[in-house]
Structure 1
Amino acid sequence: MPPLMKLSAVTLDCADPRALAAFYQQATGLELHPKSDDAFAGVAGADGLLIGFQRVDGYRAPVWPGHDVPQQFHLDFTVDDLDEAERLLLNLGATKPEFQPNERWRVLIDPAGHPFCLTTTG
């Protein structure tokens, strides 16, 4: 039996969809969605998966590692080299919180305040 559903998009709340889409486009190399605007923007891969960003008035960024403003979810990315990926992402506007879970995972914060993780394949 074929699967009932196929994941087609993940959408994150933020204050500035275009800026967050630009950050993730530079970080991942995914293509900017052609219908991106001030209310909704996104990046998409060849497989059709879209990472979307929607404007929310009064947006409050999640707090890592606390839960005063819950994460709700976060994105995980596999990289070849943690240190190199971290350097590049910090140059693009990510920040690195003091608390890190362990040496295999690196938590960074995107420009809108969403935590996301980096890990290696090995």
Structure 2
Amino acid sequence: MQMRLTAVNLGCPDPLALAAFYAKATGLPPHERSGADFAGLVGEHGLVIGFQKVTGHRPPTWPDGEVPHRLHLDFAVDDLDGAVAELTALGASVPPGRPRPDLWRVLLDPAGHPFCLSPRTPRRA
């Protein structure tokens, strides 16, 4: 048996709002069936980043883990500092206790999910 990944879904209180944040951040187009309970963005090879409405959603409390995160997304960028500035202007936030900011940056999306930015070309020590 061979499986092909077709979607990654995040629970959130407002799927359309979170999809709009990631659409602005990535430039990915919306999924044709996006609505109030589920919204998605279509990436390369048809991979969907989905956002599913969760009643009573509690955002992860990264990094302390009182409310653990279930997964996180990683994105490659050309300029770490520039990307952080643009994403915080779109509604992301910078959590306390950032590990290894010389290698990657951790941000929280508007629903509280952590996501990582790393340089498109790895830096050498």
Task: Give the shorter-chain TM-score range.
Answer: over 0.9
Which letter does structure 2 place at the counterpart of 1:85?
A: A
Q: Describe the superposition over 1:43-83 as per-residue Cα deviations: whole angstroms up to 9, x where unpaired.
A: 01241010000001000000110111111110010111101
TM-score by length of 1: 0.95
Q: Give the secondary-structure state (helix, strand or coil) at the position aligned to 2:46.
A: coil
Q: How far apart, CA to CA, are the structure 2 residues paired with 1:91 and 1:56? A: 25
Q: Which residue of 2 aligns with 1:27?
A: 25
Give the 4+ runs in structure 1 shifted more than 4 A: none
SS class of match (2:35): coil
Q: Distance in 2 between matches of 1:46 and 1:84?
A: 24
In structure 2, the partner of 1:109 is 108
2:34 — aligned with what?
36
Q: State the secondary structure of the residue aligned to 2:3.
A: coil
Distance in 1 (CA, whole Å) between partners of 2:43 and 2:78 is 19
Contact 2:63 2:96 in 1 (8 A): no
Alignment RMSD (CA, Å):
1.0
Q: Which ranges in structure 2 are unaligned for 5 or more consecutive residues?
A: none
- Number of the residue aligned with 2:65: 67
Matches of 2:97 and 2:41, distance apart in 1: 29
Letter in 1 for 2:64: G
Q: CA deviation at 1:19?
A: 0.1
**Normalized against structure 2, the TM-score is what?**
0.93
C-alpha distance in structure 2 between counterparts of 1:46 and 1:72, whole Å = 23
Q: How many residues align?
A: 120
Paired amino acid for 1:57 = T
| 75, 87, 90: which one aligns with 2:88 | 90
